[in-house]
A and B are shown apart, each in its own frame.
Chain A
């Protein structure tokens, strides 16, 4: 079975532009998580979904960030407008929601906002 798929792997954009990051979770996993990783702040949870419903978005930095999960196999994280301080690696992860609830991470999207 394929792991978590994220696209694009790298994104370079100019300040003010809209950025959309995409994620396909592992089939059958009920939970999906979006994280941001920076040197300064480490790995931060932005939002997570259960059965396509957002459960906790308290980590979303501000209104410029939004996330959707229209179906069980697809989620997006959108930043509009983007700013240089948004530069980070963004990870998507999914979890089966049973057992130990470990998370399976995608390869990440490295975002650079100039």
Chain B
């Protein structure tokens, strides 16, 4: 079974608008971590934001926020005030702390295009 599902292969957003990238996950582990990474066209993977399964508040990092809905097993990334430099691939990832150790599983990614 796929552990991380990103259903949007590609997304378009107008510059300065907000955009939500979807991510759902599947785990039976009670303790897990959720991550978002950005991969620009240059190829490097950049860590954006982290949410722990026991964190009651949604994580925020600058223009990035993670909309964590535990009961629905979703961890959507919200980018506010999109910039042209946000055009990239975005990967959702999960680490199952008890069952997976430090193994991190990545989704297939969503390619975001920011239009001027």
Contacts and interface: CB of A to CB of B under 8 A. Distances in A.
Interface of A: 31, 33, 42-43, 45, 48, 50, 55-56, 89, 91, 93, 95, 97, 100-108, 110
B44 A103 contact: no
Chain A interface secondary structure, helix, strand, loop or mixed? Answer: strand
Interface residues of B, number: 21
Nearest to B100: A56
A100 B103 contact: no
Nearest to B43: A108
A55 B101 contact: yes
Secondary structure at chain B's binding surface: helix, strand, loop or mixed? strand
A26 to B, nearest CB: 12
Contacts of A107: 43-44
Contacts of B105: 45
B95 to A, nearest CB: 7
17 contacts: A31-B102, A33-B102, A42-B106, A43-B91, A43-B106, A55-B102, A89-B43, A93-B45, A95-B102, A97-B102, A100-B35, A100-B52, A101-B33, A103-B47, A105-B37, A107-B43, A107-B44
